Amino acid sequence: MIDLQQIRAGLTQYQPQLLTQQDFRRAAVAMLLREQTGETEVLFIRRAEHELDPWSGDLAFPGGCVDPRDATPRAAAERETFEEIGLELSAQHYLGRSDDLAGAYLSIHIACFVYHLDEEVEFCLNGEVVDLFWVPFRTLLDPARHRLHDFHYRGAGRRHPVIDLSEWSDRPLWGITYRLLENFLGRFELSFRHPEYL
């Protein structure tokens, strides 16, 4: 299983694939990692239900849209993390950047920045976030948690791979956050296994 030393080394050497099309909206998220009892864990938030939010109620990483006051996408990820969960990130937490991804149904490019928390943190959630929790990578990679799920999304029936995290959330992990996580783990030769495909 992957540890933070491997992640730090891997991201230091990695040149991420960036998306630069000008007609896409831009967003940025923070993937927050910690080590707990010998396990590397990642933080997820659960977004509040809101009819105007395309990711309403979903599991996600802290983050949001890049706006003109943000000097860089990374600055946007850090600003949004502070606004959403009250965590002030700095250079000492920063591990590196993963590949950008494009939204599957929305014209948006999402940048993902990776951070390490080595101290206990007291989070303060704003109205956009209703919960947060840590999940070990070992749990996320467990094939028994992976399945295909039918959604009704944006007026159409769709089937997507998901990760069952029912101990923490009544909604599975799916969509862009699933893809960001899958892409990140692929850098370290780790991949999800779906029982339907075995």
pLDDT tens sequence across 132-162: 999 999 999 999 999 998 887 667 788 889 9
**Beta strands 108-116 and 25-36: pairing type?**
parallel
In a domain, 197, yes or no: no
Domain presence at residue 134: yes
Higher per-residue confidence, 119 vs 133: 133
CATH number for the domain that contains residue 13: 3.90.79.10
* In-domain check, residue 22: yes
Query: Whole-model pTM?
Result: 0.93
The pLDDT assigned to 88 comes to 97
Tally of domains in the chain: 1
* 198 is a domain residue: no
Name the one residue in this structure whose structure tokens are 């990711």: 55
Residue 160 resides in a domain: yes
Q: How far is Cα 161 from Cα 194, in angstroms, rounded to an integer?
A: 8
For Cα atoms 55, 68, 79, give the angle at the middle one, nearest 5 degrees.
60
Domain that holds residue 168: 4-191
Q: Of 195 and 137, which is predicted with more confidence?
A: 137
Domain presence at residue 94: yes
Is residue 196 in some structural domain?
no
